[in-house]
Amino acid sequence: MSAAETVILGGGAVGLTLALELARRGHSPLVLERSSDLVSGCSAGSAGLLSAAHSTPLATPSALQEGVRYMFRSDTPFAMTPRAELVPWIARFIVACRPAQVRRGIELTQQLSTASLEMHAALFEEGLDTGFHRSGVLDVYETEHGFELGKREAVDHRRAGLDSSILESLDARDLQPALSSAIAGAIHYPGDGHCDPALYLRAIADAAREAGAKIETGVDVKDLRLDRRRVTLIETSRDRIQPGTVIIAAGAWTPRLAHSLPVRVPIQGGKGYHVDLERRGSDPGLPIYMQEARVIATPMQNALRLAGTLQLSGLDMSVAASRVRAVFEAGTRTLTGINQERVRTTWRGIRPCTPDGLPMIGPSRAVDNVVFATGHAMKGLHLAPVTARIVADLLEGRRPTYDTTALLPDRFRWSRANHHARTPTPHDDATRISRRLGGRAESVGGREQ
């Protein structure tokens, strides 16, 4: 039996960045990661995109149409595998596709993405080798119709303060000669960036350990024991731990960990793939987002990564060859020099998707010492720094810089009483958590933001 002030369940980008943030504030977090390797999970397999311009939540009317239209196809960018357990999730997804809610989700995600991009830059500037580059992102369109939609989206982004340049096909190829002549046009977002996911995870883990965090891998969490609104015991494959605060940052595995808690966690696993190619000097020097195919080509330290597709298939880890092929073929259509001889590895991973496409960040009002930091879908790596800042502020009783009411875990409760109750604010939660911890966080090296 051991004890820990703060236990973080999950050692992906969010969990590790939380550990670094808390350790640097004087706390002693313990991270428990189920995998034996920190770079084997969903965060490590991502495209590494750090883009405020790509902030549309998963739940949109067009995504709903695509999900229904392509439900039984195996080569589409977005698909839902029919399952009984998916029905309640789809019902919430449909509700979340209302235009007003989508607009609010985009505005909040852009705000958080912009802030988190600056935090990524700051981590790199302080000497952490995360593979960070701020050379922009190029959205590329294969059809004239798609290009017209992209132009309209660029206008909306400019209103939100995001700079962009509209490039006809020849101009786009002047900027990036690796582009195929078949493209219709492109939009360049020069303020966006990218990083190397594996480098980020290793650098953040090393910095967190140096700051005083403890990170344990190969640890399965078996159960969370609840007593009088508090998790009093964590049963693991290695130990029994008495926690002060529990932060659940376990991605698609969050529902399994939270099954014993009185909290509704409607997270579905969304399977994605990547194909890593041998890096060549003729490859693009910035991420290429192939809009119609929803595939991103990102230059990494030692590879060109083609990443994409989202299949709501639960925790099924099987590989669909047709989806791997669709990712690869998108690259061959859009870029020159892509061939099978360059393929080094293929990968699949499970992203955590909430019905409204927004992450779950904050405490549940049903459990006194549990905070959620999960459900980031495709933006976990990007939003890891800002998520860590929000959660650390909550634990220290500080008013969060951002209005994250729309991210609170209890938003998925459907009871009539909950519908008519006043929605708690992040400041309410900061005060409540601080009281639960007996004010301890405020006296343990907390810093003003």
Domains of the chain, residue spans: 1-52+100-130+194-267+354-449
Nearest Cα residue to 373 out of 381, 363, 361: 361
Query: Given this model, what pLDDT does residue 430 score?
Result: 55
Q: What are the mean pLDDT values of the chain's consecutive 10-residue runs (449 residues total)? A: 96 98 97 94 95 92 76 72 84 93 95 97 98 97 97 94 96 97 97 97 98 97 95 96 97 94 92 96 96 96 94 89 94 96 96 96 94 97 98 93 92 53 53 50 31
Query: How far is residue 111 from each of residues 130, 214, 282, 299, 369, measured CA to CA in Å?
Result: 22, 31, 34, 26, 28
Strand-pairing partners, residue 9, are 32, 248
Helices 99-125 and 380-395: crossing angle in degrees, nearest 10, is 90
Strand-pairing partners, residue 185, are 141, 168
Query: How far is residue 83 from each of residues 88, 91, 267, 268, measured CA to CA in Å?
Result: 10, 13, 14, 11
- The CA-based diameter of the chain, rounded to the nearest angstrom, is 66
Query: Given this model, what pLDDT does residue 129 score?
Result: 97
Distance CA 235, CA 223 (A): 5
Phi and psi at 287, nearest 5°, equal -60, 135
Distance CA 56, CA 360 (A): 16
**In terms of CATH, what superfamily is 1-52+100-130+194-267+354-449?**
FAD/NAD(P)-binding domain (3.50.50.60)
Amino acid at 144: E
On the 0-12 / 13-18 / 19+ scale of CB atoms within 10 A, 357 is buried
Query: Given this model, what pLDDT does residue 433 score?
Result: 58
Distance CA 186, CA 142 (A): 9
Q: Are 283 and 276 in contact (CB under 8 A)?
A: no
Query: Given this model, what pLDDT does residue 152 score?
Result: 96
Other residues' Cβ atoms within 10 Å of the Cβ of residue 332: 14
Distance CA 33, CA 219 (A): 6
Query: Given this model, what pLDDT does residue 441 score?
Result: 37
Query: Given this model, what pLDDT does residue 435 score?
Result: 52
SS3 268: strand
47 CB-near residues (< 8 Å, 6+ apart): 194, 274, 287, 296, 298, 305, 307, 308, 378
Angle (CA) 382-70-137 rounded to 5° is: 30
Rounded to the nearest angstrom, the gap between the alpha carbon of residue 267 and the centroid of all alpha carbons in its chain is 13
Nearest Cα residue to 109 out of 63, 160, 155: 160
Number of H helices, E strands in the chain: 12, 19
